[in-house]
């Protein structure tokens, strides 16, 4: 994993019929669309439901749906909601199909969303191309991490060959000033962010969720695997080359739903959240 392409930038969206049912404790029997079972969206949704007291394995259903079909599925009533990347959430509001219950930043501020990855074999076979690509990705991420550099970004991304979405929808996501579908205009300039640094702590949390829900059938050395996969040291070096001070390379903490996760103690965390624990 070379870099994180963006942080935040997702929404937990519900169908309009649930506007008076905002407490997740009452969502037993709901069907949620997710991009795939091991996605960060699914893992965050499961954690959110579990924190509310539901059993994510038994109390709700998950439907694997392409992100381009979220809004249509919501409109026809085949799902009750979805946890997905933008512009899906904002488009649901724009088309009157649903409302934003929460943006993902409200659940886990700074969480990784999309990533830039490459096969180790390709890196070894194409070292010059790899480094040119790596530097370009980090440079572009750092550029659009500044809000003033996002002018015109929505227009480009709205084109059919990219996101094929209304420009106004993308502008609401990128600017952080958006309609939530509940009659309120909200403002959060970090609704989506672009910090190209892969945090070990985020990788460890995601892996513990895979283990928590038995998607990993046995424990792994979470810290060793995070260091092997996440090229944090390389990303930090390239960021310094480009005049930016990177975060410290190491195992820190994440704050998720108000709780602190210490990536140095994954087994302690798992012991605290497992069923019956």
User: Which H or E element spans position 116?
Assistant: strand 115-116
**Residue 239 phi, psi (nearest 5):** -60, -40
Average pLDDT over residues 34-40: 96
**How far, in Å, CA of 126 to CA of 133, rounded?**
11
H-assigned helices in 108-193: 120-125, 127-144, 153-157, 167-175
Q: Which of 233, 187, 205 is closest to 46 using CA atoms?
A: 205
The model's pTM is 0.95
pLDDT band at 274 (very low <50, low <70, confident <90, very high): confident
The distance between the two most distant Cα atoms of the chain, rounded to a whole number of Å, is 56
Question: By percentage, how much of the chain surpasses pLDDT 90?
Answer: 99
> Residue 73: which pLDDT band, with cuts at 50, 70 and 90?
very high
Q: Are 99 and 19 in contact (CB under 8 A)?
A: yes
- What would the pLDDT profile of 153-211 be if each residue is shown by its tens digit? 999 999 999 999 999 999 999 999 999 999 999 999 999 999 999 999 999 999 999 99
pLDDT of residue 98: 98
Q: With contact defined as beta carbons under 8 Å apart, do 174 and 153 qualify?
A: yes
Question: Per-residue pLDDT for 227 more than 80?
Answer: yes
């Amino acid at each position: 994993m070379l870099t994180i392409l963006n942080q935040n930038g997702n929404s937990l969206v519900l169908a309009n019929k649930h506007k008076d049912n905002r407490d997740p404790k009452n969502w037993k029997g709901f069907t949620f669309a997710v991009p795939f079972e091991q996605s960060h969206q699914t893992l965050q949704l499961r954690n959110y439901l579990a924190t509310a007291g539901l059993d994510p394995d038994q109390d709700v259903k998950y439907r694997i749906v392409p992100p381009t079909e979220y809004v249509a599925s919501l409109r026809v009533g085949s799902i009750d909601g979805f946890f997905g990347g933008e512009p899906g959430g904002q488009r649901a509001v724009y088309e009157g199909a649903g409302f934003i219950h929460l943006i993902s930043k409200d659940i886990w501020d700074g969480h990784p969303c999309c990533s830039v990855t490459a096969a180790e074999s390709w890196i070894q076979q194409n070292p010059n191309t790899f480094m040119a690509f790596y530097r370009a990705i980090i440079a572009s991420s750092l550029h659009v991490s500044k809000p003033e550099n996002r002018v015109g970004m929505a227009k480009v991304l709205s084109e059919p060959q990219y996101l094929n979405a209304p420009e106004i929808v993308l502008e609401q996501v990128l600017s952080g000033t958006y309609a939530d579908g509940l009659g309120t205009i909200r403002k959060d300039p970090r609704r989506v962010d672009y910090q190209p640094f892969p945090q070990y702590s985020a990788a460890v949390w995601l892996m513990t969720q895979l283990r928590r829900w038995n998607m990993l059938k046995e424990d792994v050395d979470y810290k060793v695997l995070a260091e092997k996969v996440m090229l944090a040291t390389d990303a930090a070096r390239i960021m310094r080359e480009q005049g930016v001070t990177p975060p410290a390379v190491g195992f820190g903490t994440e704050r998720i739903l108000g709780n602190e996760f210490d990536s140095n103690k994954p087994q302690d965390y798992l012991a605290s959240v497992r069923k019956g624990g």
